[in-house]
Amino acid sequence: MTNDTTPHTPPDDAHRRPDGLDDDTVAALGELSAALEVVEQARGFLYGFHRLTGKADLALGEAVDSLRGAGHAELADLLERDLIGRNVIEGRWTYQLVEDYDEGYYAAFRGHEHNIRHSLADGKKHLFEAEMKEARRTHGRRHHEALPHESAGEGVVGRDDPAAPLA
């Protein structure tokens, strides 16, 4: 059963290309969006690096305490002096790398993507993907709706019966 009332419900206005926007520009904007997604993923890895490095430093502190407790104070002191709290790059802890990335490359990339998208496509996001979805979905079929509100069991994505147990 489907609530898709027409066989060709279009995407919402936020994902329809503005009049006069050609295929090549939509494709180029799609490539720019994909590049930004890679930058977002890289930023996530940088935050992962930041968190893991901090976690390692704290774990090292525990190892130093254990070495000291096991009677190896000299080795514990060496690790404490040389590694605990050490800069990962000259003069910088990982939070400083994250801040520099966010305020530098990341901000510049996002700013250019935003400005170009607003200049060429009235600020609309994911036009290429929205058109791909429209071309690939089976119109009128459940789980192929153009918009979320067309689904039975609103708010529950991918389930025919919201009360049914998950398989």
What pLDDT score does 9 carry? 72
Show the low-confidence residues of the chain (pLDDT under 70): 1-8, 150-167
Three-class secondary structure of residue 71 per DSSP = coil
Is the pTM of the predicted complex or chain greater than 0.85? no
- CA dist 28 and 30 (Å) reads 5
What pLDDT score does 160 carry? 55
What pLDDT score does 131 carry? 87
For residue range 80-89, list pLDDT tens digits in order: 999 999 999 9
What pLDDT score does 1 carry? 42
Instruction: Show the CA angle centred on residue 97, arms to residues 94 and 39, nearest 5°.
Output: 115
What pLDDT score does 156 carry? 46
- CA dist 26 and 20 (Å) reads 11
